[in-house]
Amino acid sequence: MDIGRTLVPLGQGAFSVPTICRILQPRMTPRKVHYWLDTQLIGDPVYKGSPGRSTILSFQQLLKIAIVQRLRDEFKVSLPKVREAFTWLLDRQFADDWRELRFTRGTDGRVVVSSGLESIAIPGAQGVLDSVLPDLTKHTKEIRRAWESGALVIPRRSTLVSNVRVLAGSPTISGTRIETAIIASFADGLTADRSTIQEIRRNYPSLAVSAIRQALEFESVRLVA
């Protein structure tokens, strides 16, 4: 796959900033993505955009953004204060010799992230509830699983996936090559009703109604009675 003058190996995925925002909706914005790129938190893009050409990111960067967004939602601490800790965490999350990252409460009340014998405290995260820490541990484990498999289940959409081996990571219905955008094309503008779902089923009889509904909702198509 040739993006501008950059060769992207097949099976690696190629994600524009708008595509990443779609996958990680509703809280992800282009401004956040570009800020994290500009500040080197998630590394250099595969291809830096120019007039008429989109900035392209890798699958790993998509996953890094997913982690940073989740941590920012929970910690609510300004990025400059936690940059060192986040950089440490991201480096170990995608290391070849990966060890499960665990979030715990340190003896001084700070949140600590550990990986094997290494650990780092996250500044200013004392206000995070202890009940959240196991969820963060689970989240980083799921992201690692996605990295190893090349497939990310789209948040809050259990039947949708971004798989780097299928249509370069474009959002699809899991187990198929059917893009969510194709499903949305059956809708009448920004709404769909029972007849729309019936038409989709006639064209794709193997699709479950729940998967069709999730694809439509993901593409911001409102379902009406």
What pLDDT is attached to residue 12?
67
Per-residue pLDDT tens over the stretch 15-31: 999 999 999 999 999 99
- Read off the pTM: 0.90
Q: From CA 191, how far away is CA 107, in angstroms rounded?
A: 53
Per-residue pLDDT tens over the stretch 45-104: 999 888 888 899 999 999 999 999 999 999 988 889 999 999 999 999 999 999 999 999
Predicted confidence (pLDDT) at residue 8 exceeds the cutoff of 70: no
What pLDDT is attached to residue 52?
80
Number of Cα atoms under 13 Å in the Cβ half of residue 39: 15
Q: What b/e sequence results for 176-211 when a residue is b if at least 16 CB atoms lie within 10 Å of its CB, and e otherwise?
A: eebbbebbbebbeeeebeeebbeebeeebeebeeeb
Read off φ and ψ for residue 128, nearest 5 degrees: -70, 135
Q: Angle at which helices 209-218 and 194-203 pack, to 10 degrees?
A: 110
pLDDT band at 9 (very low <50, low <70, confident <90, very high): low
Assign residue 69 a region: left if phi > 0, alpha if psi is -120 to 50, beta otherwise? alpha
**CA 7 to the chain's CA centroid:** 23
**Gyration radius of the chain's alpha carbons:** 19
For 74, the token pair is 């929970």
Contact criterion met (CB below 8 Å) for 144 and 157: no
Q: From CA 47, how far away is CA 195, in angstroms rounded?
A: 42
4, 11, 99, 111, 166 from 7: Cα distances, Å: 8, 12, 31, 41, 18
6, 158, 181, 184 from 155: Cα distances, Å: 29, 7, 17, 18
Which whole number is the average pLDDT over 135-156?
Answer: 96
Q: What b/e sequence results for 31-49 when a residue is b if at least 16 CB atoms lie within 10 Å of its CB, and e otherwise?
A: ebbeebbeeebbeebbbee
Q: From CA 169, how far away is CA 22, in angstroms rounded?
A: 12
